[in-house]
Amino acid sequence: MTSLPTVNAGRILAKPMRDRVHIHYDSDDDSVVFIRCNGREFHIELSPFFLCNSPLITSRYHKFTAAVRGRGGMDRDAEEEGDSDEEEEGPEEIQARFYDWLIAVFEPVFSKIAPDVPSSFDPDMIQTGKAKPLLSEYLFPEIHRCRLESENDKPFPIHMPDEESQFSEPFCNIRPGLAGELKQYVKFLDPSTVEVSFGRPKQALDSQPTRVLVGLDDSGEKTTCFFKGFGAGAFIPLEKELEAHLRLLKSNVVPEARVVRLLGVVAAAEDGRVAGLLLTYVDCRRENDGILDGIYLRRTPIPPRERWVSQIKEAVQQLHEGGVIWGDAKADNVLIDKKNDAWLIDFGGGYTEGWVDKEKANTKEGDLQGVERIVEYLYSEEYEPYPSDYEFDSASE
């Protein structure tokens, strides 16, 4: 692949990829964190083994791994550090503080290896339309393997240019028969033909793209889709989800049903390995990323709740009339868009305790039970309007 032009030499834009922390469970103290800097990925290996006579850095690292696992700041070395303010922090604050420190430590490496920003990762160029990043550039970035070492609490950022990444490309093989059936209904597109469309261009620096533009027909028009990626080795959940979407594609569910459908598959042109799915794009509300389970009901008036109940019941009825079972019916599998419409997602089957009884899983009866419990959830709190003097944050609207 030809190299892209770069801009803004000397500008260091480093962001942690928080959803990709890899902890070695066979060695509880070792981990790998991922930092995206100026469009390159740095895989930084961390282990107390390389922190020689460094109690403060070791304590800082243990607090970080405890926070990643959801145990907050309570770790075996916290008392050694003696920082009561940090002990008051929650998991998110502990992780943020650690990433800020780690990025500062590795800044000399970043400056040498990634001194400029490729146009496809530059928020300003994306914002103005001068750059049109492709999904392939995000799935297959330039990768550098690093390691943190220290001695006497002095950190040393180590770049290992001759070491290849220990992580495989984000592709999965699927059964040829399944791929053949899917191709009768949807297009398979190479990542190099899929254009990334960031809602907020500044996300280009740290987020894996989810909103993309694709040509699904010969009209020349591009359709906005949601890209759901699958990591290497995730072929079992991938095939399960593809089979569920294939059932939906083959069904008689009416087109107007507000259910998220499979529109295409992102796969390598040369061998058909799958990187992810192209799904109906739902322009979700900002609050809780649009997920119904977690919306602040106390500030949600009754009319919108009634609207969602009606729409959820209608969509489930349309699924059943078309011969499809929703499966894992629960509030977490309902999205609310900016028009206050409710959409159903996740047709892979199964059940969640508290929403559908085990013996009713993957049945119409189970779907209806889940819907009734969603209704109970929606009316579980009374509406309390905001005070008349409440100042709304316009940035969150």
Contact 50, 56 (CB under 8 A): no
**Which of 7-16, 117-126, 237-246 is predicted most confidently?**
237-246
Longest CA pairwise span in the chain (Å):
69
Contact 342, 292 (CB under 8 A): yes
**pTM (global) more than 0.85:** no
Mean pLDDT, the chain, integer:
87
Please give the share of the chain, as a percent, with pLDDT higher than 70: 88
Residue range 118-155, pLDDT digits in tens: 888 888 888 888 888 999 998 888 999 999 999 999 99
Taking the C-alpha atoms of residue 337 and residue 330, their distance in angstroms, rounded to an integer, is 17
Any idea what the Cα angle at residue 158 is, between residues 157 and 159, rounded to 5°? 125
In which band, very low, low, confident or very high, does the pLDDT at 232 lie, cut at 50, 70 and 90? confident
Q: Which residue has the higher pLDDT, 231 or 362?
A: 362
Any idea what the Cα angle at residue 51 is, between residues 49 and 53, rounded to 5°? 110
Taking the C-alpha atoms of residue 119 and residue 46, their distance in angstroms, rounded to an integer, is 31
Residue range 98-125, pLDDT digits in tens: 999 999 999 999 999 998 888 888 888 8
3-state secondary structure of 247: helix
Helix (H) or strand (E) holding 211: strand 211-214
What pLDDT sits at residue 71? Answer: 56
Residue range 367-381, pLDDT digits in tens: 999 999 999 999 999
User: How many other β-carbons are positioned within 10 Å of the β-carbon of residue 263?
Assistant: 21
What pLDDT sits at residue 26? Answer: 56
Taking the C-alpha atoms of residue 91 and residue 72, their distance in angstroms, rounded to an integer, is 5
Min mean pLDDT across 9-18, 134-143, 313-322 is at 9-18
User: How many other β-carbons are positioned within 10 Å of the β-carbon of residue 86?
Assistant: 16
Contact 103, 35 (CB under 8 A): yes
In the DSSP assignment, the letter for residue 165 is P
The predicted model gives 348-361 an average pLDDT of 90
Contact 146, 158 (CB under 8 A): yes
The predicted model gives 266-279 an average pLDDT of 93
Contact 381, 298 (CB under 8 A): yes
